[in-house]
A = this chain, B = another copy of it.
Amino acid sequence: MSGSTVRVRPATGRPHRVLVVGGGFGGLYAARRLSRDARVQLTLVDRRNFHLFQPLLYQVATGALSPGEIAQPLRSIFRKRLNTTVLLGEAVSLDPDRRQVGMSDGGPIAYDTLIVATGVRHSYFGHDEWAANAPGLKSIDDATEIRRRILIAFEAAEREADPIRRTEWMTFVVVGGGPTGAELAGALGEIARDTLKRDFRSIDPTHARIVLVEAMDRVLPPYPKGRSASARRQLERLGVTVRTSTKVVGVDDRSVHLEVDGVEERLPARTILWAAGVQASTFARVVAEATGAETDRAGRIVVGPDLTIPGHPEIFVVGDVAAQSWPGHDRPVPGVAQGAIQGGTYVANTILGRLTAGGGEPRPFRYFNRGEVAIIGRLSGVTDIPWLGPFGRQGGFIAWLLWLGIHLTYLIGFGNRVVVITRWAWSFLTHGRSSRLITGQPLLPPIQEPEPPATRAVHPEIDPNRPTP
């Protein structure tokens, strides 16, 4: 191992070229650390021109925040770091021998050290045909699309006279009971029970049916059992129907097909949101094929204890796209922001250590679980913070407060932080969600049965066909 470590040290006095692919948490934290060191010449490549604060993405999808409030342009983060070049582009190939990454739209980029931080995307477990009817939540565009579907569903229910079809529009299914699914279902519960309560005239949004489907026997499977039970109670208090041990076996444009104890069941619903599975980004497969690296079932790259690909000490993999074993646990390091942040920082320090004369072998990466926090609607949530002992297992209001503090601390860009605090404070006081915009395709789908009454009964007590006086 020490021979290869020497190999990545620069032989000359020229700066060490580091290429970071992906500007999520892992890539960003690695790049921020490296960009402060003049020995490094850094290139950061992303398909988007901004860093996205993904933990708050569900708040955009549910109209509480605006996209610009949880995103920060990468260029502005690195504007003062003159050793850093930000490039908008998509990495599509890797030549580990020539140490070059090929781009979809230009010549390849050479590196001395490569950091792969391309994250994950949704996985439909081999059923990609479900994607059209059950969008997932990974990008800003996903979030505005989900927001559009949720709002359109209430609009469609408002004008639908047929009670069965109205119920279909007012049924929302969230597939996947992990943190994203639970937070999404909680937010939907709040929208129906609180935000939209008085907005409609024909429907009562509080009658909306929100169903959270989870294949395992409890929600928030990474949390201890007690926390899962608490989360379930809080969800049910918000009107969410929690269905555990329930598998999704089919999705179409009018319903989701479930399987419970081997028995199939059709649940009619017009809005189905996918928060169930992830798979590694496409670039992970490219990297695995080019380097011969192992991947796990979700396509994540299996890395060594120093987060490099075995046999390639110059290629690091961080964040969700890496499958890192977590000593002492029966699961790998979870695919959450803190795992990526810690990985990114570790990798940056390892690279800088290699550039320092006499810098020894790095200690293996050790994930420190600072704890997990999810909020479920207004004023409530669950935490699991192991290092705080029993105090680390909170529910309700304290969990909610902790969540607030943690998310604001990590939100990049002070301006965004102030804006988000303002929005949250305002929403909290007014029970409102002011970013409830239907953008893109604004109109409702055409009414299905072509036999509407001669006149729409906007105010049922008035007969619109009565001759005007």
Q: How far is the CA of A41 from the CA of B99 in the complex (A)?
A: 71
Q: How far is the CA of A454 from the CA of B110 in the complex (A)?
A: 11
Known: A88-B438, A415-B426. A108 touches B49 (CB 8 A): no
Closest to A314 in B: B468
Partner of A73, one of B100, B434, B456: B434
Q: Main secondary structure on chain A at its contact with chain B?
A: loop
A85 contacts B199, C-beta separation under 8 Å: no
Binds B, one of A10-18, A208-216, A222-230: A10-18
Partner of A66, one of B50, B68, B432, B452: B68
Q: Digit string of A87-114 for contact with B (CB within 8 Å is 1, else 0)? A: 1111000000001100111111110100
B440 contacts A106, C-beta separation under 8 Å: no
A443 contacts B72, C-beta separation under 8 Å: no
Known: A155-B49, A198-B79, A415-B423. A105 touches B443 (CB 8 A): yes
B196 contacts A75, C-beta separation under 8 Å: yes
Enumerate A375-406 residues with CB–CB distance to B below 8 Å.
none
A85 contacts B159, C-beta separation under 8 Å: no
A456 contacts B108, C-beta separation under 8 Å: yes
Q: Enumerate chain B residues within 8 angstroms of A47, measured Cβ to Cβ.
A: 442-443
Partner of A443, one of B41, B90, B435, B452: B90
CB distance from A422 to the nearest CB of B (A): 5
B437 contacts A49, C-beta separation under 8 Å: yes
7 closest cross-chain pairs (CB), A and B? A68-B435, A66-B68, A110-B464, A11-B469, A66-B66, A415-B426, A107-B456
Q: Can you list 23 pairs linking A and B with CB atoms under 8 Å apart?
A: A17-B462, A41-B459, A43-B458, A50-B437, A63-B68, A66-B66, A66-B67, A67-B439, A68-B434, A75-B199, A76-B432, A85-B201, A87-B159, A87-B458, A88-B442, A89-B444, A90-B443, A99-B468, A105-B447, A108-B454, A110-B455, A112-B468, A419-B423
